Amino acid sequence: MFKKLLLGGVLIVAVPMLVGSMLFGRGIWSYMSTAYSEMKTEAKDMVPIEWELKRARHMITKLEPVIAGNRTKIVREEIEVAKLQRQVQRNQELLAKCKREMLQLRDDLESGSTQYVYSGRTYSAEQVKADLANRFKHYKTLEATTAKLQKIVDIRTNKLEAARRKVEEMLAAKRQLEVDVENLEARLEMIRVAEAASEFSFDNSELARTREVVSDITTRLDVTERMLNTQVELYDRIPLDEESEQLDSITEDVTSYFENRSADKVAASGQP
């Protein structure tokens, strides 16, 4: 069963690759890489910004144990370096003492005496020489050891200082990242407020149509009032020119009209 599943998986991967290599040749890998990169970018763009900000804050929080762990290592290293420094100090003091004693023995031997008394005991010149040789050998060994310890102290001190600077840099970077995330959250909040404000939709076209209707009504009323005012002016005004002249002679016109009609009737009746 497992072999069948494995064989099926191999076929699923191998067949598209074989077909792609037949169509695109050696460039199939670049096509696949480009397609993967595009899919990855599109998938990343689909992630909400709020989630990415939470992810950033979580990653910043994960820096705290790393910084704390390095601080603990620094404290331990400081203790170890302090121990080495005290050891070097003791060795240097011992070297200084050994040097003084060796120089004293050398000066005693250079005096040419055959016997020497130290702390109530008598030593021959050969014994003093042997003791001086042993002291000198031990001094050189201790001096080399102390020099190596000093180099170790110097190296570990330099590393300790570098570690301190690194921790300080990490702390400063962490604080800056926190400030950056806060600024990004504030910018996102402003964008969300702006988006919420843009959701209020006002139909200005309906307002414009209403204004147009009111304007048409106003125009029609203006026209009607203008027409009525014109008619009143025509019917109610007092005539001043030709019509006034006709009214002044109206009596004469009536008399003349009827006299002329009576004369016409008399003339008509007197005809044979």
Task: Kindly report, residue by residue over 182-239, the tens digit of the pLDDT.
Answer: 999 999 899 888 877 665 565 667 677 777 878 878 888 778 877 777 665 555 555 5
Of all helices (H) and strands (E), which one includes residue 122? strand 121-124
Residue 248: is its pLDDT beyond 80?
Answer: no
Q: Which residue has the tokens 């950056």?
A: 180
3-state secondary structure of 115: strand
**pLDDT of res. 205:** 74
| Residue 112 or residue 263, greater confidence | 112
- Of 118-127, 192-201, 250-259, which has the strongest mean pLDDT? 118-127
Q: Give 11's pLDDT tier (boundaries 50, 70, 90).
A: very low
The reported pTM is 0.53
What number is the average pLDDT over the span 117-131? 93
Question: Percent of the chain having pLDDT more than 90?
Answer: 47
3-state secondary structure of 166: helix
What number is the average pLDDT over the span 171-178? 94
End-to-end CA distance of the chain: 154
Residue 42: is its pLDDT beyond 50?
Answer: yes
Distance CA 182, CA 171 (A): 17
**pLDDT of res. 216:** 78
Least confident range of 127-141, 205-219, 257-271: 257-271
Residue 105: is its pLDDT beyond 70?
Answer: yes
C-alpha atoms less than 13 angstroms from C-alpha of 53 in its C-beta half-sphere: 15
Distance CA 207, CA 87 (A): 93
C-alpha atoms less than 13 angstroms from C-alpha of 16 in its C-beta half-sphere: 8
How many angstroms separate the Cα of 99 from the Cα of each of 92, 103, 127?
A: 10, 6, 18
Sign of the Cα torsion 113, 118, 122, 127 reads: negative
CB atoms within 10 A of CB 261: 9
Distance CA 106, CA 223 (A): 139
CB 142 within 8 A of CB 95: yes
In the structure encoding, which two tokens stand for residue 166, read together? 């690194």
Residue 71: is its pLDDT beyond 50?
Answer: yes
In the structure encoding, which two tokens stand for residue 46, read together? 């689909």
**pLDDT of res. 223:** 81
Q: Any alpha helices (H) in the chain, and if so which ranges?
A: 2-24, 28-45, 49-110, 125-198, 204-236, 242-248, 250-269
